[in-house]
Amino acid sequence: MLPLTATIKRDLTLARRNPARMIAVPTFFILLVTIFPLALGPDPDLLTRIAPGVLMAAALMATLIHLDRLFRDDAEDGTLDAVILSPAPLSLYTAGRIVAHWIVTGLPLLFLCPLMAMILNAPLPFVDSVLGVLLPATLLLTFIGAAVQGLSLGSGLGGVLLAVLALPLYIPVLIFSGAALHLLATEMDATMPMAILWACVALAAPLTPLVTAATLRMARG
């Protein structure tokens, strides 16, 4: 487990040394959410209806900001090649990078979502429950993004092209999380979409590091 913890500590240390990178995702998320009340006007009923979709779409777009740098920085400075050649399992390295990436990009959104939900005039039960949906949703977005970034590393895709490749894979997460948020906003039972989200997390958590490690080996020859 040493490569896992060492990778997480290294990535979080690098992130702390780059404040601009730390605040980019939450800042972009806040801007995306606040644009809608400004553009659509202060209609409380309208804002309440669109709150679930706005929050999920904003979270999805915000997680794309640093996606192209998830493994590319290590590939450019030779760290990735050194890890591949080392005796340590590459999957522990990829798991560490995925965890650190979620802490930097996904965790801040969990703290901001209740506040953003109140800005969108969401009902109080929805505000209290939004974290239960955004937690598995952001985890799945991170898992999918890591696999796509590993797959595209050898092709040189980055930025907008990587986002275009990842977005279709994000659609199921958007559908089920949006459905769960909508049900919560209307005070209905959201057990089914929530169960699907958590089942996907349980499946993706052990498989994504292995799949990503395999794609990185292929990308580096």
Task: Give 78-130 pLDDT, tens digit per residue.
Answer: 888 888 888 888 999 999 999 999 999 999 999 998 889 888 888 777 777 88
Binning pLDDT at 50, 70 and 90, where does residue 163 land?
confident
Closest CA to 28 of 63, 62, 67, 69: 62
Domain limits for position 65: 2-219
Please count the structural domains in the chain. 1
Binning pLDDT at 50, 70 and 90, where does residue 1 land?
low
CA distance 182 to 49: 8
CA distance 28 to 66: 12
Q: Taking residues 135-156, what's their average pLDDT?
A: 85
Q: Taking residues 43-48, what's their average pLDDT?
A: 84
Q: Higher confidence at residue 10 or residue 128?
A: 10
pLDDT of residue 119: 86
Output the DSSP codes for 80-111. Answer: HHHHHHSSS-HHHHHHHHHHHHHHHHTHHHHH
Q: At what angle do helices 44-63 and 107-119 cross, to 10 degrees?
A: 160
Closest CA to 220 of 170, 151, 165: 151
Mean pLDDT of the chain: 87
